[in-house]
Structure formats: C-alpha cells, structure tokens
Structure 1
Amino acid sequence: MFKLPPISLYIHIPWCLKKCGYCDFTSYVDKNTLPEKQYIKHLLKDFEKDLSLINNRKIGTIFIGGGTPSLLKYESIQDLIQGIKKRTFISNNIEISMEANPSTLESERFIYYKMSGINRFSLGIQTFQSSFLKKIERTYSSKEAHKAIKIIKKINSNINLDLMYGLPGQSIKDGLLDLNYAINYDPSHISWYQLTIEPNTRFYQKKPKLPDENIVLSILKKGKKLLKESGYKQYEISSYSKPNYQCKHNLNYWNFGDYIGIGCGAHGKITQKNGNIIRTIKNKNMNDFLSGKYIHSEHKISIKDRTFEYFMNLFRLYQPVIKNHFRERTNINEKYIQKKIEKAIKKGYLIETFNSWNTTDLGKNFLNSLLKIFLY
C-alpha cells in the first residue's frame, strides 16, 4: 500500500572562503560582507512556498550545508531555525546538523549555534596533513584541523568528521594516517570517501595525478578493517558510525525519503498524495534568488527514473532492500522490474529472498555495473 514517506529539510548556504578544485556544489567565494539577513529572509520565504507541497508532514531532520554555513553569524542561524519552527511542525528530538569548516571554528560562536538548536556538527577535515590540504586547495592548516576538533568536542558530543582518500600523491601510509588521527579523537561518526573528479570543477579542467588504483583499493580495504576494529560500523558505502549515531538525515535520503531543498541551487524530492514524485531545483543565481525568483525548475520523475533513483540510493546501504519498501516509496509494483532483477541475480550482484533483495559483495564492489542494469 502506498503512503507518503518521511520528509527532511535541506538548507543550502552558498558562501565559501575559497572554491576547492574538486567541488561541484553551488558556492560563491566570500569577498565582501555577506547579505545574511536578506538571505535568511528569502530562505524562509522559499520554505513557505514548498510547504504547500508536503501535505502537513512533520519535518524529521534538518541539514544546513554548503558552501560553508559556519561563515554565518550565530544570530543568523538562530533566526533561521526559529523561523522554520514558526512555520511548520517538526519532530520531537529532531536531528539538526550543520557543516563547518575548521578555519571558521570559534568556540563562542559554536556554543551559540548549539543553543540555537544545532545538535550535530559535521567538520570538513578531508585530511590532517598540510601538504595534502594544499593539493586539494583547502583553506586551513593541519594545526587548525586538530584545533577545530578539540574545540567542537567540548561543545557537542555528536560530531562527524569528513575525510577523503585517494588524494593526489597519497600513499597507503598517508591514507591510513588520516584515519588513525580521526579515530583517536573518538567522533561519533566518520564519513570516509574517495576523491572523485567531477565535471564543472577546476580539477576536471586540469586533472591532478591521482594514486594508482591498487593503492586506492589497499587504502580502502585496510581502512575499513581499521574502522571496524575501532568500533565503527559501516552502514553505507562511505559512512561509519558508533552505535545509534548514524546520520538520520542522510539515512532518509538513502531510504528514498522526501526532502525539501531551500536556498541557491538546492534540490528537493517531494512525493504527492497521488503517488507522483516531483524534483525541485532552486535558482543558482544569487541576485535572482534574492529578488524572490526561487524555483529554477520542477518536474515529475518518470517511472523508469524513479526505479533507478530508488536503487541508486538503497544499494548504497548495508541492509536488505525490502520489496514492500520499494512499493511504498515508488508506488511501483516489483513486477515492473522483474527482468532487471533476474539479470542482476544472474550476474551475481543480487540475491533474492521472498521479502527482499540483497546486494552481494560483488554487487557492492561493482555498484555502478549493478545500477546500469536499472538505468537502461
């Protein structure tokens, strides 16, 4: 039986101190005073317009990302969260996450962020080694990265450390050193993912020399073992957590839940009562956004795309894909995809039970090949 899924809220803060060479997110380099009050006012108006689409569902999680949200004054974050709460229902014990850059971390400001309602911080460390920070064009030093974690741990226990591996010139020893540094700080969550070169980035125009594939695979294999031995459970391809500290917001994405996306360039996915699912993309142009032109595009997801997007998310998780869940989240009968499922099973990517589909180790290792079956 079809029912509306849980819904989250993503808020995009598009300013950065510098645009990193690998970054393909909508962001602007901060050269002058940020129009914070004006932007917050328009974020809330953008939010109001999307509320008409969600059928009175409670917001389950909030994630403030970027860009660099920690460039904003705490008063701006406070006004934003209070404004959200005034306009809609939110769940009790809601997870409210905020991304932060080590070079913007000031203890007093972060204490006020927490008082405003932020209860989970995600620090974009990427690497603790200054030589690699320079290679990927980050704006802080190794010393600042270590200092930032020490500050935030005094303020909040629920923190995520973002780390990358497969950096230009990185050895196996270098990759594992970063993980060891992170584990020694005992964060509740570690996001550990491979550097990939995306179109529309400076690294795509001028590609840096990345490590050999065998080095990357060795870092991954040894790193996963190290994380497991250190008490971190892998619940998604790039996500490792202590018990009960999985990121609820990201879990909603990966379980094909709904989310409102507000702010410059933000994306949203919203299911309607009739079972249709719409995608929203907000205006990337800051001047247009601040003049009230929030929507860039809005379209209904086709049945074919709905199927692919569902599996693109669910196959990332280390859990069975429940057939009933597929029906509930897509409003599609699994008979529609039976031939594709059979093809994936024949190739050794999936195992089917009466109630579920499970990715094999081969399926996880060749995830793109598995997904291609559902794309075409």
Structure 2
Amino acid sequence: MILPPLSLYIHIPWCVQKCPYCDFNSHGVDRLKGATDTPHEAGLPEQDYIKALMQDLDADLAGVQDRKLTSIFFGGGTPSLFSPEAIEQILQGVEQRIPFTDDIEITLEANPGTVEQARFEGYRNAGVNRLSIGIQSFDPAQLKRLGRIHGRDDAIRAAESARNAGFSRFNLDLMHGLPNQTEAEALADMQQAIDLQPDHLSWYQLTLEPNTAFYQAPPPLPDDDTLWEIQQAGQQLIATAGYHQYEVSAYAKTGSEARHNLNYWQFGDYLAIGAGAHGKISWPTAGGGLEIVRTSKQRHPKQYLNAVDYISQRTALEPAELPVEFLMNALRLKEGVDESLYPQRTGQPLSSLSPELKKLQEMGLMELGTGRLKTTDEGFIYLNAVLETFLSSE
C-alpha cells in the first residue's frame, strides 16, 4: 500500500483582535495575558507554546511512517504575531524530528497590520518560502466593517515588502460579497490585488458563520443577483490577468498552485499541531487496506498549554464515509483528480462510486470516461448538489 504525501499544519491561535466574521479558532492577545507565569512577547507565550508544539508533534510521530514532509503551513489566528526567531525555532524543531523533501513548501499566514519588511526578511531567513497575506479588502470602509487592524496603504505596503524581502511566492487573500458591496467595488479590490502581482490569489465570498459577531447581528449583504454578477465579472478579470482557477476559491499563475492545499484536496495526509488543529493520517491495515483517522487537538490555548494529552478527539472514518470524505475534497479542484487516486487514498474500488457517478453524469454534473473524477462546469458551480448525491447514498 502506497501512503499519501505527508504535510504538517501548525496552528498559531492568537490575533490582535477577533474579526466579526471569523469562525476560526482564534483568540485576541489581550485575553491571553496571565495564562502562564513566563514573560510574553507582545502578550504571547512564545516559548511555552513552542515547547507544547514539540511535545504535541512528538506524540504524533508514529503517523509519519517513514515519509518526508512535502509542505508546512503556519495558519491561525495570526502566525505573523510570532517573531521570526520563534518561527525558526519551530522549523528547526520539526526538521529534527521529521525530514523535509528538498523542495518543501513552507507557508506562513501574515496580516498587514502585524508585519514590516524587516520581519518578512526574518521569516525568509528562518526558512519560510511562501506567504499568505490576509488583505480581505483594500476599501477603508470595508476594512473597518470587517474589524481589520490594517488600512489600504498597509495592505499595499505588505505585498511590496514581501517581494522586496525575497518572496517570489505569495498569496493575497481577498473576500467579496462584503456589506453593501457593489460589483464595481469588488472589481476594484481585485484589480488592486492583481496590480501587486502575487503569484496566487484566494478569493472567496463572505458567509455568515455561526458563533461569529456577524451571525448574531448580520450586516446588509448584496443580494444573490449581485453576488452572481460579482463572481462572474471577478473570475473574468482574474483570468484575463493570467491566473487560472484550480480550486473553488483559489487562482494561480501556472506552477504556483499551493502545494499544501493541493495535498488537502487530493486527500493526502497531514499531521496537525497547535490549539484546535485538525489532522488526517492513513494507517495500513493487516488486510492490505487503509484506516483513515482524523484528530483534533485541545482547542483553547490555555487548555492546550497545560495539556497532558493534546488530542481532544480521535475518529476513525467508517468505510461508508469515505466516498464523501474523498470527493468533498477532490471535487473542489477544477480539474478533479486522476481516478486512480480514489482506491489509493481510500482503499476502496472505484466501482463503489459507480451508481452515483452514472446518475450525476445523466444530470450533466459529472464527466465520465476521461480517467478523472471531475465535475462538468455546471457541476462545479453546483458542487453541493453533487456531494448531496453521495451523502444520500450513505
């Protein structure tokens, strides 16, 4: 049995403040002060957290199974609140435990309000070779509504500083469908992002998630017709600028697709350390199959820092769950995946999908006979309907 590629996700759970739309496991810095007895840098217990990360990783090392890491992703929260020295210490600790591939991709999420060029240079020297910069919008009024701590000039300066610091690969993260946003305003945001010449763009619609301030007090969002017009016009603008859509919300110059995210969508394996981090590991079984196990770690930073067992939940997926688990990832890719990946990554024969695939082909939502598991263009638009077909068959 050939195991999937292996990645590592590292969660840094702190932000300067919680944004009203955010449902990620993030915690304002001020809430953490006093959580430990050690000195903090900018209110953060860097050394305590690094120690916990390494202990967490040590407990997960059996899942490596003689593989090298192909990618590392620092997500949050706001990882750029951690000093370059702390990021370097983490990467050194990881490499002492797990070997890296020669071309490993190491991404760090950064917010424009927490970085300057010297800090970017420090991250580059620490081993980070790709950045994902959380812009969200260049419109000052929208940034204020979204609770962002940066302004338009900060966002532009962050992208320019990333390039000046030697990052040839960086993503700009944008949202559309913002409160009262017009098509012209959304396109102006995208054009400004394109002008900064990143090699990768993430562009996704604002949604109101439970347990967020926006969900409790919804802002006035554009109607469905306006949202559709924004998406159609925005995708045309992005394509004209030379970016291809390879995933539902991701666009890249040729060869600049995010390898870490591709591993997720291709149902690869990933260790995950840090407060609230979620991982997935495949384990060979005695019968030649696979057991796929998902884990989640202690969610609150204080609990995580004081943990004896970092895992809060461990779930082995049932065979009946695997079709949807695989497809809800793979079909997010515009070109889908080679159909041989399904038996490799799930241990199940492709024939187990046949009834549903044939039904979806008849509905014009899936392409068959191409050697790939891939939706039609219409199926890509109505991806939730495609997945519902498999959910209803469980």
- Which category of TM-score, normalised to the shorter sequence, fits these structures? over 0.9
SS at match of 2:293: strand
Deviation of the 1:323 alpha carbon: 2.2
Unaligned runs of 5+ in 2: 34-42
Distance 1:304 1:208 in 2: 40
The one-letter amino acid paired with 2:295 is T
Which stretches of structure 1, 4 residues or longer, exceed 4 Å deviation after superposition? none
Match status 1:200 vs 2:211: yes
Task: Give 1:110-125 correspondences, 5 Å limit.
Answer: 110-125=120-135
Picking from 217, 236, 244, the partner of 2:255 is 244
Picking from 68, 76, 81, the partner of 2:78 is 68
Q: Could you say if the C-alpha distance between residues 354 and 148 of structure 1 is closer, same or farther in structure 2, counting changes exceeding 3 Å?
A: closer
Picking from 57, 82, 89, the partner of 1:79 is 89
Match status 1:213 vs 2:213: no
Question: Which residue does 1:282 correspond to in 2?
Answer: 297
Question: Which residue does 1:291 correspond to in 2?
Answer: 306
Distance 1:39 1:263 in 2: 8
The one-letter amino acid paired with 1:277 is I
Distance 1:188 1:357 in 2: 27
Distance 1:219 1:304 in 2: 38
Deviation of the 1:354 alpha carbon: 5.9
Question: Which residue does 1:3 correspond to in 2?
Answer: 2
Deviation of the 1:356 alpha carbon: 2.8
Picking from 104, 111, 122, the partner of 1:94 is 104
Task: Give 1:23-62 correspondences, 5 Å limit.
Answer: 23-31=22-30, 32=33, 33-62=43-72
Distance 2:357 2:229 in 1: 31
SS at match of 1:343: helix
The one-letter amino acid paired with 2:26 is S
Deviation of the 1:337 alpha carbon: 2.1
Question: Which residue does 2:39 correspond to in 1?
Answer: none
Return the TM-score normalized by structure 1. 0.97
Distance 1:308 1:45 in 2: 33
The one-letter amino acid paired with 1:160 is N
Contact 2:175 2:203 in 1 (8 A): yes
The one-letter amino acid paired with 1:177 is A
Distance 1:307 1:339 in 2: 12
CA displacement 1:80-115 (0-9 Å, x = unmatched): 001001111111121000000000012112211110
Question: Which residue does 1:317 correspond to in 2?
Answer: 333
Distance 1:354 1:96 in 2: 33
CA displacement 1:163-219 (0-9 Å, x = unmatched): 000001100000000010011111111111111111121111111111011111111
Distance 1:320 1:216 in 2: 25
Distance 1:107 1:358 in 2: 42
Distance 1:3 1:332 in 2: 14
Picking from 136, 139, 143, the partner of 2:146 is 136
Contact 1:54 1:272 in 2 (8 A): no
Identity of aligned residues (%): 42
Question: Which residue does 1:340 correspond to in 2?
Answer: 356
SS at match of 1:235: strand
Number of equivalenced pairs? 375
The one-letter amino acid paired with 1:106 is E
Question: Which residue does 1:15 correspond to in 2?
Answer: 14
Distance 2:78 2:243 in 1: 27
Return the TM-score normalized by structure 2. 0.93
CA displacement 1:23-79 (0-9 Å, x = unmatched): 111111001421110001110110111111221211110000100000011111111
The one-letter amino acid paired with 2:254 is P
Match status 1:366 vs 2:376: no
Distance 1:14 1:51 in 2: 22
CA RMSD of aligned residues (A): 1.1
Deviation of the 1:246 alpha carbon: 0.6
User: Comparing 243-252 with 319-328, which one deviates more in the overlay?
Assistant: 319-328
Q: Could you say if the C-alpha distance between residues 354 and 316 of structure 1 is closer, same or farther in structure 2, counting changes exceeding 3 Å?
A: closer
SS at match of 2:64: coil
Deviation of the 1:322 alpha carbon: 2.4
Contact 2:73 2:108 in 1 (8 A): yes
Contact 1:11 1:65 in 2 (8 A): yes
Distance 1:57 1:75 in 2: 27
Deviation of the 1:263 alpha carbon: 0.3
Distance 1:356 1:74 in 2: 42
Distance 2:339 2:147 in 1: 44
Distance 1:221 1:100 in 2: 28
SS at match of 1:75: helix
SS at match of 1:65: strand
Distance 2:337 2:47 in 1: 43
CA displacement 1:230-254 (0-9 Å, x = unmatched): 1111111111111111100000001
Distance 2:123 2:329 in 1: 31
